[in-house]
Amino acid sequence: MRDTFIAQLKQRAIEDPRIMLITGDLGFGVFDQYRKNCPNQFLNVGVAEQNMTMVATGMAMEGHVVFTYSIGNFSTLRCLEQIRNDACYHNADVKVVSIGGGFSYGALGISHHATEDLAIMRALPNMTVVSPCGLWETKMATDAIIDTQGTFFLRLDKSFGNDDQLEKDETFQLGRARVLKEGTDVTILVTGGILEEVQKAVDILESGGVSVQIVSVHTVKPLDVDLVLEVSRKTKNVVTVEEHTICGGLGSAIAEALLDNSVHPKRFLRIGLEAGFSSIVGSQEYLRQQYGLDALAISEKIRNLI
C-alpha cells in the first residue's frame, strides 16, 4: 500500500506543481523516485510533526495540495491539536497520511500500534477518513484525495498487497463502499489491510456452508449509509472487522447508522481490539493471532454468532 501510494503521488506531482509532500524525517528510500522527479515538491521538517502540520496548513492556504507523511500515530495523535485547530478548522487542503495502520509496526510496541486513529480522526469536523482495503483502492483514493478539496486522513497498511479491483472499468468514489463478494447468510463490513484475513476467514466459513458477503468500507467518514442499510436488511447478520479498537471506529460508525435509521439486524458483532492497550510486541501476523484478528479467530467468532 505504501509503495502504491507513493508511486501514484509521484505521477500526479509531476503533472501538478501544487502537490507538496512533507515528511517527519522518514521514508527516504521510499521517496527516492519522488524526490528525483519532484525535488521542489518535497520537504523534510525533521522529527517535528506538530510543525509539519502547521507548515502544511500554511502552504495549503496559499494554494498547495499538501500531504503530511509519517508512521501510524506520529502524523495523527502527536499533532492532533494542529490537525484540529489549523487544518480542519480552516478546511485546508491538507492530506494527513498514516503509514502502518493497526499492527503494521507491531514489533516496535504500543507507541507504533495505530489502534485508535480511526476513532479520533473520525470525530474531527471537516475531516474525511479514508482507509483502503487493497492496492487498487489505495491508488484510486490517492487520486480522489488530490482532486477533492479539504482535509483528509489516509490510513494505509504498511505492506498489504491485495489487488482488490473487481472489473477493469470499475470506478472509485469517496464515500461509496464496494461489495467485493455477494453472500446471503452474513455480511462482513471491513476497512483497511485486514481484508486479507477476512478473505481467508470467508474461505473457512464457506467451506462449512455459510454464505458470506464482503463489503469494503474504504471511506469510514462520510459513511455509505445507504449501502450499509441495504446489506443489513439483506443478510440480517452483520459483522464489522477492523484492525483498530472497537470503540469509535468502523464498528461504531456502522452501529450508529443502523440505529439512527431504525434498522435492527438479527445479530450484530464488532470484531477488533476489544479492551486495553495492545501491549504485546511482535509481528503483525503474531499480534493478529494474539488479539483474535486472524482468519481462524474471525471465522470462529462469526460461526458462533450465527
Last residue of a domain, one of 123, 156, 189: 156
The model's pTM: 0.96
Average pLDDT of the chain to the nearest whole number: 95
Specify the pLDDT at position 161.
Answer: 60
Can you tell me the distance from the alpha carbon of 234 to that of 179, in angstroms, rounded to the nearest whole number? 13
Q: Taking 90 as the threshold, does the pLDDT of residue 8 lie above it? A: yes
Residues 152 and 182 both lie in one domain = no
Last residue of a domain, one of 125, 156, 187: 156
Can you tell me the distance from the alpha carbon of 91 to that of 84, in angstroms, rounded to the nearest whole number? 10
Residues 151 and 10 both lie in one domain = yes
Q: What mean pLDDT comes out for the span 77-86?
A: 97
Residues 205 and 93 both lie in one domain = no
Residues 183 and 150 both lie in one domain = no
Q: Residue 276 — pLDDT band, cuts 50, 70, 90?
A: confident
Residues 25 and 120 both lie in one domain = yes
Specify the pLDDT at position 169.
Answer: 81
Q: What mean pLDDT comes out for the span 71-75?
A: 94
Task: Name the nearest CA neighbour of 129 among 277, 252, 230, 268.
Answer: 252
β-pair type (237-245, 267-273): parallel
The total number of structural domains that make up the chain: 2
Specify the pLDDT at position 27.
Answer: 76
Task: Name the nearest CA neighbour of 27 among 113, 78, 82, 97.
Answer: 97
Can you tell me the distance from the alpha carbon of 244 to that of 122, in angstroms, rounded to the nearest whole number? 13
pLDDT digit string, tens, across residues 33-71 = 999 999 999 999 999 999 999 999 999 999 999 999 999
Residues 131 and 187 both lie in one domain = no
Q: Residue 94 — pLDDT band, cuts 50, 70, 90?
A: very high
Specify the pLDDT at position 206.
Answer: 97
Residues 45 and 124 both lie in one domain = yes
Q: Of 223-232, 246-255, 274-283, which gets the smallest average pLDDT?
A: 274-283
Structural domain span for residue 89: 2-156
- Is residue 74 included in any domain, yes or no? yes
Can you tell me the distance from the alpha carbon of 296 to that of 70, in angstroms, rounded to the nearest whole number? 32
Specify the pLDDT at position 179.
Answer: 95
Can you tell me the distance from the alpha carbon of 115 to that of 271, in angstroms, rounded to the nearest whole number? 13
Instruction: Say if residue 26 is exposed, middle or buried (CB neighbours under 10 Å; 0-12, 13-18, 19+).
Output: middle
Residues 82 and 221 both lie in one domain = no
Specify the pLDDT at position 19.
Answer: 98
Last residue of a domain, one of 94, 122, 156: 156
List of residues 6+ apart from 7 with CB closer than 8 A: 33
Residues 148 and 47 both lie in one domain = yes
Q: Residue 29 — pLDDT band, cuts 50, 70, 90?
A: confident
- Is residue 272 included in any domain, yes or no? yes
Q: Which residue would you say has higher pLDDT here, 141 or 27?
A: 141
Specify the pLDDT at position 35.
Answer: 94
